[in-house]
Structure 1
């Protein structure tokens, strides 16, 4: 898919290059989204022996945004061969995506692992971690469509089909002979217009004509949706000035949603929707089944990534509610775009943030189960290693259309028709809840790594126990025997098995783990044995800080594990204040530590405590040395010495 304005190219990539002459021209073309010209300019620089991090980045991005993934992979690959540079993690993700488009899935997964190591909190990392067998899952969803390239396609870009009664409306960059000079610099194709084709009784497309002169201007028009009565249309158009292509002060022509009413056979009363903006794009409208909500893609404030799916409520008086982001079940830090809502309220959308085959893939998710389920990849042959998007389906006939830039097409993007032979169950999942405990002490075990495995031992899902030892995982709904395998440092692997006999939830799973940790020797400091941080105190304070409480819980767990162990709590101060005061302060700290352990159920007879004041400093920060606050902090501590 060529990422023109049609495809809501919502990425803002303004990377300045400190170059002269041709380098400056290349940079200007890139910053102005003239990616075709930028690619030519940068490649000429490479031929002349120029190379740099910025050139490789921009060549990679220019090709990526134009869906030239093989070329993008080449330049991203060169980028990561550079030494002594720290490349933003986003390039790791883009490189992994381009490798998928070359079917290099193992290499892609390796780069995704590097991305996860850098950005563990990224939603795409979580999706990758929780779907280690995503190719297997995609394969299970595959083989459900027969597809064909439609005869209405041109040598230009044809995409964004929508139903309007017995007609198919779509967007095209075909050259009619009248728009040869209306070339967009993004990818050197004509501007987009809306066309109509009749859907014949045999299911073919025929009689292709422009939709309306009232709609098709010297701008991009694309992605439509119609009300069921055919009287109202929502569509996308880029920013314009009296019907002419216009850019903002940054050189970007934003996308906006418009509404038109059919009167006497003509589309009239064309108005811009009120939730558009001049500094962000709003595009690709979709209506839900009862036409009470309008969905769209946007990069407005509150977007998680390059573009997200939002919706607004359509009020009874025709006004609109506030845009609401659909959240992390749908949206990622990459591109989610081209929403379509079926009669059964299944949201179909294109994404390159969810695990897929490469480029944009089409996914589906039940809008009624957004908080419980995950988006499903529709599988091959509908999805491919290239861009697949703008999916629509008639759930009665099981026929529909989508667009793709796969290699067998006529133009840069083509419209494909399909027949769905088997529906995908979007509610098919099982929710697994339970707890991880120490087998001997029954203490909870936090941060245990959990792998869901099938009967063949293959990992089909991942998770981790929370701070209370509990877990909440989503798993397959396929019938069979499964297990959750838990691992954690200082413990032998623990597991529990379960059976799925139907789509059901399991809420009482318990995983018991046995420690392989040897008890501490006499005289040992438990903090060192357990590889814990010291229990530090604030200046002139003796209360147990929150960060120290987490450490103390591990001491409690150890003492429960070895009930015959006795310890001496030793507390210390830094050298500031006089000796007698510090001795008293350290005794208060030791007493506070003792009280905390007793309150946690440790028998008082197993504990003694003593304050040492400033007599056992860990560094040279005595009364005669000027030290930083950080160095003084190292002396304000409690220790746990094994005495029996």
Structure 2
């Protein structure tokens, strides 16, 4: 279940499903069958995973082929990576890359990025993935492109992330069972992202005092006034054991009281000794009467157990409260040494148990399953929730109330990392999956969301910036927002190639008769919004920014909705300039000898540059304007300049440019002088030569 668990959520609920599954406890590790293990209870990119601290004696660094001379440093980095000790591996890979550029092989760059990716350090993951892409862009796999896109989102680069998700979808079609999203699907997905970004927040969130510098996550309601959660807080002065995935103490379950006024958690103490062990425990759920609990733990009895690949997977355990004390935990019958199970969540009536696993039959890296809780401690056969919920990536941390299923995923459209989603359900099944939006979700991992239906208050975990530790628990309350009629057009302006957000672009709103209605300058994040518009009305948007081509899009409002429109602008080529609103190909002037029309050697060099630009922009069409100085009579100068224009046109066509792309080639003689060298004015040869020129006007791009 590698990466079954978000930064903190996975640690408790399915440490094997998350990045924390590093220590051979990962359920979805590329080095193992799926890298998920009970050792990692939190999301793949978070620090709250369950993992076994012991090394994998069967790890084999020969699986990682190094094309450069293997140094001891690189060998050790691969060894740590194979053992899922990502924090240590990241240090060594970075050291090796900083010491020697010859180490910039595809595999080492990938491992450097992955080591950070699996620990939710998206800044460093993005750094190495970007170098990987720039160096080996034609030789990357769909998975590598997906991770790069994910890291881009994790750094708030949504425009560029969209471009790489399009690339990922195109690459997936080439796989044996791959299906490419069509243009309409891609556009719909991008519109969903825009809607999430522009959705007005209706939650108030607060970081809790109970958080530590390590991972705290997977909160769960326990009675009316307590929360049980997972934490890697080091509560023992003599405890030096560390989980090598992230160099933090192992996870334990804690219980804390809810401060009814502030919603903070106080007086946190360790949960029952019958439940906590020296390895990971996390992600817990309780029966309606609070007498039965299910939780995630490393595959650990009297000793750690491993699968055939040496991985210590995660398992689900059950404990019952007898005479006020929790009993020794027993594992559930559908566990296996060969795959991970974790992140349990009971339905409100206690009759169904939802959980996360990478068991055979999974759709993605980790899926959500459900079993019926039968009498006498029996369970039905696990059932996959299907493609409406599960994607090819990770779904985890389920939570249910009487109306909705909540879960975290990095496979549905989101803001980056794990996002929280909700889906209504009834006797007919699940409805549409909806991203809960900001501020619950961020560009980092957001997971283990729980909510009290009556109070509309709850808790979740996140490794977003501004926290106290790797994964922090946040409280939230749903703000009551009065519904208002809203007809608006909103969007983001980006650079079409890099996907970078473009602040300070001028966006103009026009009606369908091209009458200007409003103007807005984009914010620092490239966003804009036009509000209080007429419903079901057609509009035009124009975007302008210096050194960029103007863009124009048609759109229309809908009844009481925010319509999202992205505008991607193309940067002007260095040889393209705008003079008095007219686009021109900017070359060194094309000079001609006196009274001649042939192309000089210096002119051919400049015209070749022009040909290169027209080749780069295959839809570009131009017109050629040639001019003379005042020497000679007007009629002859008109004739001479026309010959020069035709000569220039002929040269460009001879270099492979279609003749239909040159709309006209006209000589203007001495009609458009650019200096004061008129008839009767004494000018030098150089000054007269300035007027003997050809210019190239861009008519169409």
TM above 0.5, one fold? Answer: yes
Measured after TM superposition, the shift of residue 218 of structure 1 is: 0.9
* CA RMSD after TM alignment: 3.0
Q: Distance in 2 between matches of 1:142 and 1:107?
A: 23
- CA 1:372 to 1:156, structure 2 compared with 1: closer, same or farther past 3 Å? closer
Q: Distance in 1 between matches of 2:287 and 2:312?
A: 28
- CA 1:272 to 1:179, structure 2 compared with 1: closer, same or farther past 3 Å? farther
- Other structure's SS at 2:218 match: strand
Answer whether contact 1:122 1:333 (CA < 8 A) is retained: no
Residue aligning to 1:271 = 330
The answer as to 2:343 corresponding to 1:296 is no
Answer whether contact 1:364 1:375 (CA < 8 A) is retained: yes
**For 1:4-403, what aligned pairs fall within 5 Å after superposition?**
6=15, 8-9=17-18, 10-14=27-31, 16-18=64-66, 19=70, 21-49=72-100, 50-83=103-136, 86-120=139-173, 128-139=186-197, 141-165=199-223, 166-178=225-237, 180-202=239-261, 203-242=263-302, 244-344=303-403, 346-368=404-426, 373-403=431-461
Measured after TM superposition, the shift of residue 421 of structure 1 is: 1.8
Q: Distance in 2 between matches of 1:501 and 1:381?
A: 23
State the TM-score, normalizing by the size of structure 2: 0.59
Answer whether contact 1:142 1:378 (CA < 8 A) is retained: no
Q: Distance in 2 between matches of 1:340 and 1:240?
A: 25
- Other structure's SS at 1:95 match: helix
Q: Distance in 1 between matches of 2:165 and 2:560?
A: 34
Answer whether contact 2:172 2:179 (CA < 8 A) is retained: no
Q: Distance in 1 between matches of 2:406 and 2:137?
A: 43
- Other structure's SS at 1:80 match: helix
- CA 1:276 to 1:123, structure 2 compared with 1: closer, same or farther past 3 Å? farther
Q: Distance in 2 between matches of 1:53 and 1:409?
A: 34
- CA 1:173 to 1:186, structure 2 compared with 1: closer, same or farther past 3 Å? same
Q: Distance in 1 between matches of 2:398 and 2:482?
A: 18
Q: Which of the numbers 408, 414, 417 marks the counterpart of 2:472?
A: 414
- Other structure's SS at 2:447 match: strand
Measured after TM superposition, the shift of residue 338 of structure 1 is: 0.4
| Structure 2: stretches of 5+ with no match in the other structure | 1-6, 19-26, 32-62, 484-509, 513-533, 539-555, 562-701
4+ aligned runs moved over 3 Å, structure 1:
2-5, 120-130, 139-142, 244-249, 369-373, 422-425, 479-483, 497-502
Q: Deviations over 1:90-130 (max 9, x none)?
A: 11111111101111111000111111111147689587553
State the TM-score, normalizing by the size of structure 1: 0.64
Q: Distance in 2 between matches of 1:128 and 1:73?
A: 23
- Other structure's SS at 1:131 match: helix
Answer whether contact 1:223 1:285 (CA < 8 A) is retained: yes
Measured after TM superposition, the shift of residue 55 of structure 1 is: 0.5
Measured after TM superposition, the shift of residue 200 of structure 1 is: 3.0
- CA 1:424 to 1:211, structure 2 compared with 1: closer, same or farther past 3 Å? farther
- CA 1:122 to 1:235, structure 2 compared with 1: closer, same or farther past 3 Å? farther
Q: Distance in 1 between matches of 2:165 and 2:411?
A: 12
- CA 1:223 to 1:83, structure 2 compared with 1: closer, same or farther past 3 Å? closer
Measured after TM superposition, the shift of residue 481 of structure 1 is: 4.8
Q: Deviations over 1:440-475 (max 9, x none)?
A: xxxxxxxxxxxxxxx999xxxxxxxxxxxxxxxxxx
- CA 1:339 to 1:84, structure 2 compared with 1: closer, same or farther past 3 Å? closer
Measured after TM superposition, the shift of residue 369 of structure 1 is: 8.1
Answer whether contact 1:169 1:196 (CA < 8 A) is retained: yes
Q: Distance in 1 between matches of 2:355 and 2:511?
A: 42
Q: Distance in 1 between matches of 2:220 and 2:407?
A: 14
- CA 1:48 to 1:102, structure 2 compared with 1: closer, same or farther past 3 Å? same
Q: Distance in 2 between matches of 1:392 and 1:424?
A: 24
| Structure 1: stretches of 5+ with no match in the other structure | 426-454, 458-478, 484-496, 503-644
- CA 1:144 to 1:499, structure 2 compared with 1: closer, same or farther past 3 Å? closer
- CA 1:300 to 1:340, structure 2 compared with 1: closer, same or farther past 3 Å? same
- Other structure's SS at 2:399 match: strand
Q: Distance in 2 between matches of 1:191 and 1:404?
A: 18
Which structure has the higher relative contact order (CA within 8 Å, separation 6+)? Answer: 2
Q: Distance in 1 between matches of 2:196 and 2:121?
A: 24
Answer whether contact 1:45 1:51 (CA < 8 A) is retained: no
Q: Distance in 2 between matches of 1:369 and 1:71?
A: 46
Q: Distance in 1 between matches of 2:511 and 2:294?
A: 50
Q: Distance in 2 between matches of 1:358 and 1:370?
A: 31
- CA 1:20 to 1:347, structure 2 compared with 1: closer, same or farther past 3 Å? same
